[in-house]
A and B are shown apart, each in its own frame.
Chain A
Amino acid sequence: MRYEIQITNSVREKLAGLNLSPQLLYYIDGHLHDELAELPTRHLQRVRGAADCLQYSFCESDRAGDYLFVFTVVYSRDEETLIIMDLEYLFEAGG
C-alpha cells in the first residue's frame, strides 16, 4: 500500500521560506514518495517522551553543501495518509 503524503499549511509556508534549490526540492519529493510513502514503518522513528510523534529524516547534498532534513509526521485518521506537521533542517557548507 502506498500512502498519500500531505503537508499542512504551516509547513508549506515554512518550506517556502527556506528557499531551497529546485534540485533539493526534487530530492525531497523523491524521499517522501519513494521511501516514506512506500514503507513508512521502516522509515519512521517514534519520538520518546512528551512529543509523542513520529520522525522521518534523511540527508542530501547540493553544490552549496550538506543538508539534514527532519520531518515530524502523524498518520491521518483514514490511516492512508501521512501528514507532515513540522520540518527542520541543518545545513553544513561544503568544503
Chain B
Amino acid sequence: MTESVLLRLCRAQANLAETVIQPWMREHDAGARARLIESMLPRLIDLGAVLRELHAAVWKDLVGGGVREVQSLGEDLQQMWADALAFLGGVRANGRECLAQGYAIDRFDELERVVEALEQVREEHGARWPWIDQETVARSKADIAAGRCYRAKDVLDALRNPNH
C-alpha cells in the first residue's frame, strides 16, 4: 500500500517536471535551452534522488513482507523507471547538445550521474524482481492437463525427509 502511494507521488512529480520542461526542449536557441535546463537541474537531481529512495524502500519492504501485490507493483515500477529514464534521458541528450555547442550548464555532471543511477535501478529491478515465470506456468498448465499434480504436503514432507 505504501509503495503504491509513493509510486503515484513519484509518478506525479515526474509528470509535472516533464510537463514543465518538454515545451522548452523545442526551443531552437541552444543558449536559452542551456539556461532553462540549468534552472531546472536542482529539481531534476532531487527527483532522481527520490526515485532512488523509492527503489531502496520498495526492496526493503518487499523482503520485509510489506508488499502483497508483488507482480502488479513490479510492473508499475518497471513502467515508471522506463518513463523517468525516457524523460531524464531526453533532458540529458538535450543538455549534451547544448554543451557541444559551447553553452555551459552548471551541475550537468550531476544529471549524468542521476541518469546512470536510474539505468542501474531499471536493470536491477528487471533482473531481480520475482516475476512470474511464464515458462513454468506454461509447463504447469501441461502438468495439470496431464494430471501431474501432487499434494503440497506430500511434496514438502518428501523434501524435508529425503531418506524416508
Interface residues, chain A, CB within 8 Å of chain B? 4-12, 14-16, 20, 22, 25-26, 28-29, 32-33, 45, 47-49, 51, 53, 55, 57-59, 66-68, 70, 72, 76, 83-90, 92
Contact = CB atoms under 8 A, between A and B. Distances in A.
A87 B70 CA distance: 12
B130 interface: yes
A60 B133 CA distance: 21
Interface in B108-140: 128, 130-134, 136-137, 139-140
Contacts of B132: 47, 51, 53, 55, 72, 86, 88
A10 B65 contact: no
B152 interface: yes
Interface stretch (B16-24, B36-44, B80-88, B142-150): B142-150
Nearest to A68: B63
19 contacts: A5-B151, A6-B151, A7-B150, A8-B143, A10-B136, A10-B139, A11-B136, A14-B136, A15-B155, A16-B159, A45-B72, A47-B71, A59-B64, A67-B63, A70-B70, A84-B140, A85-B136, A87-B136, A88-B131
Chain B contact surface mostly? helix
A87 B155 CA distance: 14
B6 interface: no
Contacts of A12: 150, 155
Contact of A4 (B71, B148, B151): B151
Given A49-B75, A55-B70, A72-B132, A10 B140 contact: yes
Give the 3 A-B residue pairs with the shortest CB-CB distance, closest first.
A59-B65, A88-B130, A8-B143
B81 to A, nearest CB: 17
Given A22-B160, A86-B132, A29 B72 contact: no
Contact of A57 (B67, B133, B139, B144): B67
Nearest to B128: A90
B69 A45 contact: yes
B143 A10 contact: yes
Contacts of A87: 136
Contacts of B62: 68, 90
B117 to A, nearest CB: 21
B68 interface: yes
A33 B155 CA distance: 13
A15 B131 CA distance: 16
Given A9-B143, A51-B71, A72 B155 contact: no
